[in-house]
Amino acid sequence: MTLRTYLVSAALIGMLVAAPRPAAAQEATPPSLYDTTGTAWVYAGYFRIPWPRVDSLLKLRRFLPAWRARAAQMGCFLDSQLLIHQTGNEYNVVVSTTYDSFRKIGPGSGTGACTTRAWRETVPDSTLRAAINAGNDWVFGDAAHYDVIYWIPYPTRR
């Protein structure tokens, strides 16, 4: 037996001996690829807003923290953020909402009704709500945008 054959054989035997094996505490079968336990779903909208409209958005933004906190408390979503990308060129405004379930994203999910209820509780004056909604429509209405959904696995808390 040549030295090369001996070294290759020793390396293969070493890899087989050191190969990882499932520990006793691990599951016998791994979870399905589509198992979404411990997963966050981030729905992000990237908008191209003219900078003069971004100034208006900054004024409208003061109503967001109370609404966001109430909607999260009601279980509409986990978190929602508005990012104004000062150095962004084209897509300078990002609206990101994090959900604990993919089913909460989109029409028919009940999330729209939930966030509307939170909005009405946060801003009870219907005239003020209508003015804020009109301002948001003016800022975002005809803006070019695209949407992305990210799937983020995270460790579940026990």
Q: Is residue 42 a contact partner of residue 98, using CB atoms and an 8 Å limit?
A: yes
CATH number of domain containing 120: 3.30.70.100
Query: Whole-number mean pLDDT of the chain?
Result: 78
Domain that holds residue 127: 36-152
| 57 located within any domain | yes
Q: Which amino acid is at 28?
A: A
Residue 25 pLDDT class (50, 70, 90 cuts): very low
Cα distance between residue 129 and residue 135, in whole Å: 10
Q: Is residue 154 a contact partner of residue 41, using CB atoms and an 8 Å limit?
A: no
Instruction: Name the 3-class secondary structure at 156.
Output: coil
pTM comes to: 0.69
| 20 located within any domain | no
Q: Measuring CA to CA, which residue among 57, 84, 72 is closest to residue 118?
A: 72
Structural domain count of the chain:
1
pLDDT in tens, 67-92: 999 999 999 999 999 998 877 667 89
Half-sphere exposure of 76 (CA within 13 A, CB side): 22
| 15 located within any domain | no
| 6 located within any domain | no
Q: Which DSSP letter does residue 124 get? A: -
Q: Is residue 153 a contact partner of residue 39, using CB atoms and an 8 Å limit?
A: yes
| 86 located within any domain | yes
Q: Which amino acid is at 62?
A: R
Q: Measuring CA to CA, which residue among 40, 49, 60 is closest to residue 101?
A: 40
pLDDT at 116 over 60: yes
